[in-house]
Structure 1
Amino acid sequence: MEYGIERATALSLVHEHLQQPNMIKHCLASEAVMRALARQLHEDEEQWGLAGLLHDLDAEATADNLSIHTHQTVRILEERGVDPAIIDAIAMHNAEAHNTQRRTTFHHALAAGETITGLITATALVYPDKKLASVKPKSVTKRIKEKAFAAGANRDIIRECELIGIPLPDFCALCLGAMQEISEDLGL
């Protein structure tokens, strides 16, 4: 199926618009998580992976100002003719900026999936070896309950996994496994 953009071009866009290595790694982690979620939910893995990879193109340009975050990304992707479903999911991962609410499985998956990547990364970084391989799914689930830990990871958004039929412990295991598969790319 055509999405108006190939993965290699999408990755080039990420490198063009994002300079901070950790933001690029976040996009790669989000792509891996979205691909795993697509497999789990019998959705389109390529489409969902592209959404994960491209979702934060304007994060540095908007300095994470949530009132405008995603608007530039939407414009960039529309100008390139990217699949409207991908653009819509990207916009909805920050639904507040568009004065609307997430409605679809794709919306909830991207919002929850990209949010948990930060919590999983923070969990790995408290281990002595700072490696994803050392992290267990139960550790991630436990950290979700600790509000002060990785405080920027919105637990309510992570819990949207339940709206798509994946219990929180299973979601943590699935997302951790996806990130572990690309641990070298993430430097973890």
Structure 2
Amino acid sequence: MDRQKAIEILNEYLHTDHLVKHCYAVEAVMMALARRLAPDKEDEWGIAGLLHDLDADMVDYRTFPEQHGPKAVEILRSINFGNEEMYHAILAHNQATGTEIKNSFDRALYAADPITGFITAIALVYPDKKLSSVKVKSITKRMNELRFAAGADRDAMRSIEKLGIPFAEFAELSLKAMTEIADVLGL
């Protein structure tokens, strides 16, 4: 799979700035997870992260959450981009689709999706609004503050532990991956 083509697809279908940045953040975290869990799949996992919310501007996922994911997969199939493993991970990242999480690829995307928004929310409470100000301890502490970023699915984030990665390590890996692309994220 070609990342440049994936970026072209993303830019064609997703136009909301914060969602595009979110997709880049998930790509970075997925690549970091792949380096740890499936080194030969780094490109595939990254592209899945990049395109997982491809349909977010097209479907009203708050009203019809089950449509988020299937529409992205429909688009990707129609242009013959991706593979069945990637499609399944994209479907499984949104449990409203009823798609079972079957493997580490699915689980990684399911956990990576909310942690990027959670870390972004933490960065935005700092005066400089920079990822470089965020510490792993802040991420783990905020996990217990249920009113902070209340929409962030903490169970999904913690589910990374089913892959043998303690949450604090996942937080560190995710923060580092996002910090490496802070300029892209505007953080």
Alignment TM class, shorter chain as reference: over 0.9
AA paired with 1:15? N
Choose which of 24, 27, 31 in structure 1 pairs with 2:27. 31
CA apart distance, 1:83: 1.4
* In 2: Cα distance, 1:106 partner to 1:42 partner: 9
* In 2: Cα distance, 1:108 partner to 1:129 partner: 33
Alignment-derived partner of residue 17 in structure 1: 13
CA apart distance, 1:100: 3.3
Counterparts in 2 of 1:1-188, with a 5 A limit?
3=1, 6-43=2-39, 44-64=41-61, 65-81=64-80, 82-97=82-97, 99-188=98-187
**Aligned-residue identity in percent:** 48
Residue deviations 1:102-130 (CA, integer Å, cap 9, x gap): 12111110010111000000000000100
Aligned length: 183
Could you tell me which runs of 5 or more consecutive residues in structure 1 were left unpaired when the two chains were aligned: none
Residue deviations 1:116-175 (CA, integer Å, cap 9, x gap): 000000000000100001101111111111111111110011111001110000000000
CA apart distance, 1:17: 1.1
AA paired with 1:71? P
AA paired with 2:46? G
Deviates more, 1:14-23 or 1:124-133: 14-23
AA paired with 2:109? L
* In 2: Cα distance, 1:100 partner to 1:122 partner: 28
* In 2: Cα distance, 1:150 partner to 1:71 partner: 26
* In 2: Cα distance, 1:110 partner to 1:7 partner: 17
Deviates more, 1:57-66 or 1:113-122: 57-66
AA paired with 2:17? P
Deviates more, 1:161-170 or 1:57-66: 57-66
SS of the residue 2:99 aligns to: coil
AA paired with 1:85? E
CA apart distance, 1:22: 0.2
Root mean square deviation, CA, Å? 1.0
Say if 2:118 and 2:149, in contact at 8 Å, map to a contact too: yes
AA paired with 1:168? F
TM-score, structure 2 as length reference? 0.94
TM-score, structure 1 as length reference? 0.94
* In 2: Cα distance, 1:161 partner to 1:101 partner: 15
Residue deviations 1:79-109 (CA, integer Å, cap 9, x gap): 2222111111111101331x23212111110
